[in-house]
Amino acid sequence: MLGRRQIREKILQALYAYNIGGNEIEYVEKRMFQSIAEIYDLYVYELNLLLAVREYALEVIERKKQKRFATEEEKNPNLKFVKNEIFDLLENNKARKEHSDKHLELSWHLNNNYPAMIFKKLQTSRSYSEYMQNEEPDFELDKRIVLNLFLKYIASNDVMYEWFEELKLSWADDVHIANNMTLKTIKSLEKGKDVNTLIQVLRTDDGVSFAQNLFRTTIEYYQDSLRIIEERSNNWELDRIAEIDKIILAMGFTELNHFPQVPAKVVINECIELAKVYSSSKSNVFINGILDRYAKDMDKV
């Protein structure tokens, strides 16, 4: 699920698009929530990739069995990996199946190159070899090898990152969120307990309301925010301040003035973190100074 920091990132991106794009508020807001929804698509796509790796491993086993001069090992293969219980739980997850059925583009059936590449790399690893040599059923070992598969060969794989970015530009910014959701899902699985739900990106009551209110309120009071920036930026003219910095500051002023349930220190820290990711190396110091002085002057801290 998206935390408040990730939600603020999405709001920042939407505000920047609104400021430079000239589109209607409703259109930009719709695109913001669409981008958030696409994180869930990527999350399901990653779960489906894990299952596609298992499916490719099964195909390899069947091909070897059909060889004219198959060896005894090929005729009686080690099925430990393809019978991994984690895969079964993911396969049977109702929410994953329903979302995949509605979004056929999240299937890997027409693109077997990546599952094949991942499985071939996994096969050469020491962890895979040790796992396959352990003949006793062990749910925790099943979980461990799938976690290793995901963390080492998907989440940390630059090739996969480039593929996700090629499919949807927004996924390049959000893959770390989907990775965390996939990781939590695998870790949460328990032996013999079917799971029919998946992690939701936003809670409909809290996250959606916060995102919509902060987005719209920042726009409503944007001109007021610009005046505050001009008054407190040590005679810097507004056109010398980066657009992204002005938007981050406007978000900060908006939260300080209109979201009293959020502590001022939290607001300032969140704006500093946004600046570190989206602006220049010195912007976080500039933003911290203005917001901190403003909060003190307004008795917010």
pLDDT at 271: 96
| Rg of the chain in Å (alpha carbons) | 24
Location of structure tokens 């100074």: 289
The phi and psi torsions of 133 (rounded to 5 degrees) equal -80, -15
Distance (Å) of CA 246 to CA 80, 162, 274, 295:
56, 31, 12, 17
Structure-token pair, residue 296: 């003190």
What pTM, to 2 d.p., does this model score? 0.86
Structure-token pair, residue 2: 């998206």
- Alpha-carbon distance of 129 to 143, in angstroms, equals 15
Distance (Å) of CA 78 to CA 57, 65, 115, 129, 140:
11, 12, 19, 11, 19
pLDDT at 141: 97
The phi and psi torsions of 287 (rounded to 5 degrees) equal -65, -40
Q: Which domains does the chain have, with CATH numbers?
A: 4-188 (no CATH), 221-297 (1.10.940.10)
Structure-token pair, residue 24: 């209607």
pLDDT at 235: 63
What is the distance, to the nearest Å, from the Cα of residue 188 to the centroid of all Cα atoms in its chain? 17
pLDDT at 298: 86
pLDDT at 233: 82
Q: What is the dihedral of CA 285, 291, 293, 295, to 10 degrees?
A: -150
- Alpha-carbon distance of 203 to 2, in angstroms, equals 9
- Alpha-carbon distance of 279 to 139, in angstroms, equals 45
pLDDT at 70: 83
Answer yes or no: are the C-beta atoms of 11 and 251 closer than 8 Å: yes
Structure-token pair, residue 139: 């749910």
**Exposure string (b/e) for 270-297, b if CB count within 10 Å is 16 or more?**
bbbebbeebbeeebbebbbebbbebbee
- Alpha-carbon distance of 269 to 288, in angstroms, equals 8
Identify the helix (H) or strand (E) that includes residue 109.
none
pLDDT means over runs of 10, the chain (301 residues): 86 94 92 93 97 96 88 88 97 97 93 93 96 92 98 96 93 91 96 92 80 96 94 76 94 96 94 93 90 89 67
